[in-house]
Structure 1
Amino acid sequence: MTRSSLSHTPFLITFLVVLLPVLTLTVGGGSALFYLLIVACLCMVATTPATHWMQQLRPYRWLLLVLCLPLAAVLLSQLLNAHWEGPSIERGLRISLGFPCLLAGFLLIDRQRLRHFIWGPITAGIAATAIVCYLAGPTLQRPPTPQFNAVGYGNLMLLMAVLSIYSLSWQCTRHPRAERAFKIAAAALTCVGFVLTQTRTGWMAIPVFAIIGIALAGWLHRPMRALAALLGIGLIALAVGASNPALRERVTQGAQEIHECLTVAPTADTSMCIRLQLWNSAWHMFKSAPWSGTGDRSSFKDMLQQGVAAGRVSPFVARDFGEPHNDFLQALATLGVAGGIALLALYFAPAWLFLRRLRRNVPQTQRVAAAMGLAVCLSFAIFGLTELMFRGMRTVSLYVAFIALFTALSAPSPDQADDLAPK
């Protein structure tokens, strides 16, 4: 590789980061692109003196260590069960090795250049909305979305819209007013697509997104203004949700299904009751092997078959479902206590870093990145309550790339290092 080609590596890395959410939400390929992004970052690191990039990574030793927990939990569970499952190990490797490789590369790139990644979520949101509108058709039926089911797809669309809104404080072009108008329009359009997916899970994250946005605006120290903003966002969300009759019907139907499942029909084949059956089965699976888990995701189907005999699961659920629609219960069932701790660390260790960097005395450009990182961490934790967000490699890759990216973009400058470095 020539010196001339290496000089274009920062541009290549930025382009790949832009492309990652677009491919993830449209044609697929985000998983393979993740490896290409790692290779590009390693090329960037290889052309930099080791003392420099190691110095950049040194403040993150604790975070790098914590993010090795998912891989350690997988290896421990599979060792105790004497069963090796390649995909689970690969997920752990993408986190424990992928994160430091990406972070090292991102920290070496000019931040103004790297902020152009935002065109990726914006483009992904617009493209996903176009797909949803096409699949929903003139009757606006719930779309059979590609790449993900409608729940995961809608959740990621909402996240892309939120990232677009948070980026309003960044100026990436020479036309700030036009840029802001475009970002707002793209976010609004993506929210329309999210509503059309008729996803209920994403609405649970809206209060969290709103609080982060209020903190980003610096209004938390003005309680009345913060409360008014929170109420305003809540009313807008309520009005938007109520404007879709199908979504209103799904919310009402969901409440009825939960009541019926808990009272008269515990094995009914309804949307919410199926989830309750899956969660109950995952909990029984965890209790049967709390320290080692099963070490194998495929064993969940066998447990469901046993649940049919015990009257906990309907034959339909045992036949057509192979995971609990809950990331935390999935981690507990397959990896035991260590898996649950590792997943919580994956959510909340970087979230704590971003929360500290959202303080008022931090430059606004860095606070924007911190708000984005916090939104990604907390939204995945919320989305994972009713959907297996980490079902596929592509969402694992997207999550790891995002937390590495926002860690780099929110990193303190040398004169801030003593105050804001991770502790």
Structure 2
Amino acid sequence: MQIHVTLPRFIWFLAAMTFAAAIGIPKGFNVTTLLIILCSFAMSCFKPLAQPVDKADKALIWTFFVFGLSLILFSLADHLEMRGLDKPSRFLFVIPVVFLLLRTKGHQEWLWYGIVVGALLAFALALYERLVEGVSRASGEEHPIMFGDTGMMLGLLSLVASIYFFSQKRFYWLAVALVGSLAGIGTSVLSGSRGGWVALPLITAFLLWECRELLGKKRLMSVLSVALVMVVAAVAIPQTGIQKRVGEAVSNISDYSQGAKSATSVGLRFDMWKSAIYMFQQAPMLGVGESQVQPIKRELSALGEINPRAVPYNHAHNEYLQALSTRGVVGLILLLAMYLIPLKLFLHKLRQYKHNWRIRAYAIGGALIPMCYMDFALTQTMFMHNIGVMMFAFPIAYFWAALRWTEREERPAAA
């Protein structure tokens, strides 16, 4: 009997800790996701589902399966090396986790606590690296872009947590979550990762629009005013580094357009994009494969089409162009499906429950993940990194299961 009481707590604790340990505890997400995968394999043998999966559950599961399998097949067709199966397999391993969490009635509210703690820990680490170690860009043990983009996502999810706590009139945790949202955004700023900054105004506008009735006009205007003041202050203060990074980007673009200094950060990225478009033109349907990326870049470099310093990169610094160049139109369609199907499922629940904020908060949080990744994908190949795969697939599974359990809990009350 004791096992039945403690095991659900442990499983949802692991889910929450995936957020808490995401980047604030270097590589911590690897431990939590491994444990929850092992639990999913064990539990699948002993405990039936609380209720049959419905069409929406199946749509999510099949999306993970088809996308993961497609990446594995492309990898095998390309170079037949086991290293190409590592990250794609994560999209398959998350499927038993979906079943596990649909079996495990739970403590889905712990996700919010894990998110806020994760944002605070990430900011503490970023601050330590910048102030004590004196690095120019905070990174934890990840690439600075991955560190910053994950921090931004944690900050935006903390903002959703604050909406949840406000709707439940839990004002202490509302205050903590708001601090967490600033911490996550601050982590992105301290990493100097410009690509993630685009997500901030777009997703904040989406959140405020969805919360307009909950907040009311006066609160909404107050929030907008405070947000505007904070953005202006962050840009105006030189120590944040925002002015410098934006100025560098503008200068890099100007230099590249004039054919000079293409070895800059932005210039090299443009050369990677140019290379990716060229590869797509060579094999538009199925792409050239990852193994051909650097050989083709070497050819383009020899012809003077791209800077030699762009050659060592084995990706395009753009998820969409990476899919087009290495997996063709087929790969791009599958990538868009991986983004859009979960997004559609969460948005459908958001429209279905217009006034139930216990459910709506999980729907917004789940929708926010593919929304963030679609933005991050413009300047980074997120799925080429372990943390990029793990912090996409598993949080979607967690939020979907949390939403489904909250639906079940709310039905008796509605009746």
TM-score by length of 1: 0.85
Please name the residue that 2:294 is paired with.
301
SS in 2 for 1:387: coil
After superposition, where does 1:61-80 map in structure 2 within 5 Å? 61-78=58-75
Give the corresponding residue for 1:406.
399
1:373: which partner in 2? 366
Match of 2:22 in 1: 24
1:37 has 2:29 as partner: no
1:49 aligned residue: 48
Q: Which residue number in structure 2 is paired with residue 421 of structure 1? A: none
Residue 308 (structure 1) shift: 0.6
Alignment of 1:64-143 (within 5 A): 64-78=61-75, 81=78, 83-95=79-91, 97-111=92-106, 113-137=107-131, 142-143=136-137
Kindly provide the CA deviation profile for residues 122-141 of structure 1, in whole angstroms up to 9, marking residues without a partner as x.
Answer: 22222221221122126975
Counterparts of residues 24-423 of structure 1 (less than 5 Å) = 24-25=22-23, 26-49=25-48, 52-53=50-51, 55-78=52-75, 81=78, 83-95=79-91, 97-111=92-106, 113-137=107-131, 142-170=136-164, 176-219=170-213, 233-245=227-239, 246-265=241-260, 268-296=262-290, 298-319=291-312, 321-359=313-351, 361-411=354-404, 413=407
Compute the displacement of 1:58 (Å): 4.7
Which whole-Å CA distance do the structure 2 matches of 1:85 and 1:415 have between them? Answer: 46
Deviations 1:229-280 (A, max 9, x none): 6576345323323323532022022112112212332x61111111100111
Give 3-state SS (helix, strand or coil) of 2:98's partner.
Answer: helix
CA-CA distance at 1:347 after TM superposition: 1.0
For residues 115 and 409 of structure 1, what CA distance do their matches in structure 2 show?
8
**How many residue pairs were aligned?**
406
Deviations 1:189-208, CA, capped at 9 Å, x for gaps = 33333322222112100122
Residues 334-364 of structure 1: CA deviation (Å, up to 9, x unaligned):
2222211111111111011111222252520
Question: Which 10-residue stretch deviates more, 126-135 or 141-150?
Answer: 141-150
Name the SS for the 1:361 alignment partner: coil
Given that 2:18 and 2:33 are in contact with CA atoms closer than 8 Å, whether structure 1 keeps it comes out as yes
* Equivalent position amino acid for 2:170 in 1: P
Q: CA deviation at 1:87?
A: 3.6
CA contact (8 A) 2:272 2:317 kept: yes
Structure 2 segments unaligned to the other structure (5+ residues): none
Most deviating of 178-187 and 127-136: 178-187
Cα distance change of structure 1 residues 58 and 349 upon mapping to structure 2, 3 Å threshold: closer
Shift of 1:142: 2.2
Q: TM-score under structure 2 normalisation?
A: 0.87
Contact kept? 1:21, 1:120, Cα under 8 Å: yes
Structure 1 vs Structure 2 CA RMSD: 3.1
1:380 Cα shift?
A: 0.8
Structure 1 residues 221 and 358: CA distance shift in structure 2, 3 A:
farther
How far apart are the structure 2 equivalents of 1:78 and 1:180? 45
Report the CA distance shift for 1:263/1:231 in structure 2 as closer, same or farther (over 3 A).
farther
CA distance in 1, matches of 2:289, 2:4: 42
1:18-75 CA distance string (max 9 Å, x none) = 222343313214235323212213434433235x45x035542223223333234335
Partner of 1:313: helix, strand, or coil?
Answer: coil
Q: Does 1:14 align with 2:12?
A: yes
- Which stretch has the larger CA shift, 218-227 or 151-160? 218-227
What SS is found at the alignment partner of 1:410? Answer: helix
Matched residue of 2:384: which SS? coil
Q: Percent identity?
A: 22
Gaps of 5+ in 1: 418-423
**Structure showing the higher helix proportion among its residues:** 2
- SS of residue matched to 2:311: helix
Determine the C-alpha separation between the residues in 1 that align with 2:138 and 2:186.
16
SS in 2 for 1:62: helix
In 1: Cα distance, 2:244 partner to 2:266 partner:
14
Q: Which has the higher contact order (CA 8 A, sep 6+)?
A: 1
Which secondary structure state, in structure 2, belongs to the residue aligned with residue 237 of structure 1? helix
SS in 2 for 1:137: helix
2:60–2:342: 8 Å Cα contact kept in structure 1? yes
Q: Closer, same or farther in 2 for the Cα pair 1:196/1:77, shift >3 Å?
A: closer
For 1:204, the aligned partner's letter is V
Counterpart CA distance in 1 for 2:248 and 2:321 is: 24
